[in-house]
Structure 1
Amino acid sequence: MVGRVVRVALVVDEALSRAALAQGLEDDPRLAVVHRLAGRREALDRVEARTVDVVVVEDALADGTGVEVGLRLQERDHDLAVLLLSGGDASDVVLALRDRAPRPWSHVSRRTCPDPGALARAVVAAADGHAVVGRGDAAPPPGLAGLTPAQGAVLALVAQGLSNRAVARALGLSPRSVENHLAVVYRALGATGPDVSPRVLAALAYRTGRPPRAAG
């Protein structure tokens, strides 16, 4: 006999991928996909507090980022669980938010969790309050190992497209502290250049696992 049904909002850009993921989730009798949404604007407009248990959101959306969507929705509903879905590794982003979000975030990489059944189990675990973190195979960028946890957390969120102010709010830091951490990160990664901003170079290095020269 099936117990409570976990209500899911699925936020994925591409229509075919969104439909396939929704079908895979609904094959599990414990889950019901109540929203199939194409991006940030739809998610913020249509997902109301207390109407879903878990939001499964793609990390990169055409009109924003999954991190922004998750944070905004959790501001409205502290009981909402967030599962960040990515093509690569976004586990550092989730870990960076672990102490700040009202509920633990989860992350699943499509590279390491291609099975819809495994994704469904991760959603159920997230609804039950467990943090599921599935790492991808991306290598850390050179210089990252020497960063402090706070500096790494700042870089992880900057690489997701958050502004300094949004990073500060997510991590409970002052904007000046974020700026200071980024200055150290830029030096550690060698993210300098006359034509591209250090912020862009550092974000590319983090997301691709390549030094800034190669990433640029």
Structure 2
Amino acid sequence: MSRARPDSPLLFDLPIRPDFSLEKAARRDGFWPVAGTDEAGRGPLAGPVAAAAVILDPDDIPEGLDDSKRLDAAARESAFADILARARAVSFASLCAGSIDAGDIRKASLEAMRRAVACLSARPLMVLADGRDVPPGLPCHGRAVVKGDQRSQSIAAASIVAKVMRDRMMAHAGGCDGRYGFEIHMGYATARHRSAIGEHGPAPRLHRLSFAPFRR
């Protein structure tokens, strides 16, 4: 698959907070509505990779939108509720550990974003996707935006939705199987998580067996 040419700003070109300028430019060019999409969970040893897509109302943009990694849990939850209340459309999709193992995490992340866009209740004419690749199979034009969750409010909103939803899924997994502490580390390779893996081995259908330390 050919890689889309990314929009790669210099570090000092990044705004302090994401804004709506990319969306406004797309609208001037006749591409409206505009959706932002982003994923959460590329790096963990366990759990799904999740993605969200969001179409914001340009006249009612939630306050405090930012890269989900730059917000604490309380701020993410608050922003999540605001996004659901005020956005024109929000959707979420995920691919399980088995689907990740069947291919690779990059392909799974892009497919999760494609599915999230496909599930929107309103069809966008442009999708702004975080990262260096446009998800293949989009129903409309797409643009890859490097560090998009720090540049575009639509992508930032999607990053928050994806992160909150994935964290809730992992907290539920932790409630179902208390051996690993999923509700604390969300599947990332913390010392506690690695110790639990050494003691109990991988959890069926949750751990990504194509990832180290499982891959042989």
TM over 0.5: no
- Whichever structure has more helix as a proportion of its residues is 1
Q: Please give the TM-score of this superposition, normalised by the length of structure 1.
A: 0.29
When normalised by structure 2's length, the TM-score is 0.29
